[in-house]
Amino acid sequence: MRANTLIMIVLAGIFGVLAVVLINIWLAGQRNALAQSNGVQASTVVVAAVPLKFGDALSVDKLREIAWPAGDVPAGAFKTVKEAMAGDGARQALQSISANEPILASRITGPGQRATLSAVLGEGMKAVSIRVNDVLGVAGFVFPGDRVDVLLTRNVRGDDGADRSFVDVLLQSVKVLAVDQVADESKDAPQVVKAVTVEVSTKDAQKLTLAAGAGQLSLALRQAAGSKGETNERVTLADLTGDMPEDVAKRQAELDKQAAEEAARKQAEDKLNGLAQAVDRVGDRIDQLSKVKPIPAVAPAPQVQEVVKEVVKYVQPEPPARATIGVFRGVKLETYDVPRQD
């Protein structure tokens, strides 16, 4: 690249930046002249030069001054960037701030402070966390900055021994400070959370802590502009069906009886079906046997029986070779074994 071309490019850049600066100065002068021509005294207000999120630190390149009518300066606004950056340590945004939106003291921390929930809490307010799930937390559609009603569901045993369920509106129009550990109000993607942190007074914080152990807490999301309290009353099972608990128990007993009768009828039908199937199987077996041709019986050949004649022959036993002889000697009998003689 030749030197002349390089010099022309540098000069073009310098003139471009100078033109932008001169135009901004001219526009500021025109705004001041317009304000003076209308009889309104002009002032300045510090606004965000770029969008800021929760926890973003303020710096000179993220802020700028614009002309503002002196009588309409918002409360807590800064007139100069130097005033907004004054103090020992940087300031952080406590909520989302759009570009060209005035920087207010209530929306940023003090010098050197961090963007925490303690800095967001109002005067005399407390932060309390509520355990929720994907249903009780409005399916993850609750975000920091929303307003919700806190509902308490309880089961209490009556004097008759029956359990009675009811729901009360514990708190109304409670501001949500954070979901889980996220306090950024610019977050817009739904997510299932396990805890929601709300801003309440000291007495309401005591109510929430006690209610967490007395029953089940759930949230009801309110309209963005609906912060007024509403008249509410307790809702019980009678409000759902229009019946008393005794009527509900009686109807449930009838349903149980019908279910038992239906089960008995089905069992009897199953037995009859099983018996009919058994009869069908026997009939099929008989039909099969009736279709089989009988095999002709063959008489066995007569067997020749051998006649055995029994012959009885008398055999004369042989006489014994010895004999026993007894001799009385007085009154005493004496025996002698002597050879036999024919």
Domain identity same for 146 and 248? no
pLDDT at 52: 87
- Distance between CA 136 and CA 223 in Å, rounded? 17
Separation CA 24–CA 32 (nearest Å):
12
pLDDT of residue 325: 74
The DSSP bridge pattern shows strands 126-131 and 195-200 to be antiparallel
Among 71-75, 124-128, 228-232, the range with the most confident prediction by mean pLDDT is 124-128
Q: Is 133:159 a contact under the CB 8 Å cutoff?
A: no
| CA angle, residues 255, 256, 257, in degrees to nearest 5 | 90
Q: Is there a single domain that holds both residue 127 and residue 70?
A: no
CATH of the domain at 75: 3.90.1210.10
Is 35 part of a structural domain of the chain? yes
Q: What is residue 137's predicted lDDT score, i.e. its pLDDT?
A: 57
- Does 262 fall in a domain? yes
Q: What is the pLDDT of residues 25-71, one digit of tens each?
A: 888 777 766 655 555 567 889 899 898 887 788 888 889 988 888 77
Residue 264 reports pLDDT greater than 60 = yes
CA distance from start to end of the chain: 174
Residue 191 belongs to some domain of the structure? yes
What mean pLDDT is predicted for residues 271-299?
A: 75
Answer for the pair 329, 318: CB distance below 8 angstroms, yes or no. no
* DSSP alpha helix (H) spans, the chain: 3-37, 81-84, 117-120, 202-214, 237-241, 245-291
Identify whether 173 is part of a domain: yes
Asked if 193 and 227 sit in the same domain, the reply is yes
CB 241 within 8 A of CB 252: no
**153 with 224, same domain?**
yes
Q: What is the pLDDT of residue 257?
A: 86
One domain for residues 147 and 106: no
How many of the other CB atoms lie within 10 Å of CB of 335? 8
State the pLDDT at residue 11.
80
Q: Identify whether residues 174 and 97 lie together within a single domain.
A: no
Percent of the chain with pLDDT over 70: 73
Q: What is the mean pLDDT of the chain?
A: 77
Structural domain tally of the chain? 3
Of residues 81, 82, 52, 79, the one with CA closest to residue 68: 79
Question: Model confidence at 206, in pLDDT bands (50, 70, 90)?
Answer: very high
CB 174 within 8 A of CB 148: yes
Residue 306 has pLDDT above 60, yes or no: yes
| Same domain, yes or no: 128 and 111 | no
What proportion of the chain, given as a percentage, has pLDDT over 90?
2
Q: How confident is the model at residue 23 (pLDDT cuts 50, 70, 90)?
A: confident
Q: Are residues 206 and 155 in the same domain?
A: yes
pLDDT value of residue 203: 92
Q: Are β-strands 163-179 and 195-200 bridged in parallel, bridged antiparallel, or unpaired?
A: antiparallel
Q: Residue 319 falls within a domain, yes or no?
A: no
Between CA 33 and CA 27 the distance in angstroms is: 10
DSSP assigned state of 316: P
Higher pLDDT, 183 or 204: 204
Q: Does residue 67 belong to any structural domain of this protein? A: yes
Identify whether residues 103 and 148 lie together within a single domain.
no
Amino acid 5: pLDDT = 78
Read off the pLDDT of each residue in 219-229 and give the average, rounded to a whole number.
73
Query: Is the whole-model pTM more than 0.85?
Result: no
Q: Is residue 27 part of a domain?
A: yes
Q: How far apart, in whole angstroms, are the C-alpha atoms of residue 166 and residue 137?
A: 19
The rounded distance, in Å, linking the Cα atoms of 183 and 311 is: 129
Q: What is the pLDDT of residue 92?
A: 84
Nearest to 108 by CA among 67, 175, 44, 53: 53
What DSSP letter does each residue of 293-315 carry, written as one string? PPPPP-PPPPPPPPP--------
Q: Are residues 110 and 127 in the same domain?
A: no
User: pLDDT confidence of 16, banded at 50, 70, 90?
Assistant: confident
Q: Write down the pLDDT at residue 180.
A: 75
Q: Is the predicted pLDDT of residue 339 greater than 80, yes or no? A: no
Count CA within 13 A, CB hemisphere, residue 114.
4
Domain extent, residue 250, equals 244-268
The whole-angstrom separation of Cα 74 and Cα 68 is: 10
Per-residue confidence band for 302, with pLDDT thresholds at 50, 70 and 90: low
Residue 313 counted as domain residue? no
Rounded to an integer, what distance in angstroms lies between the CA atom of residue 92 and that of residue 110?
8
What are the tens digits of pLDDT across the range 124-182? 888 888 887 665 556 567 888 888 888 888 887 777 666 778 888 888 888 888 887 66
Beta bridge partners of 195: 131
pLDDT of residue 233: 77
Q: Point out the domain boundary residue: 115, 145, 161.
A: 115
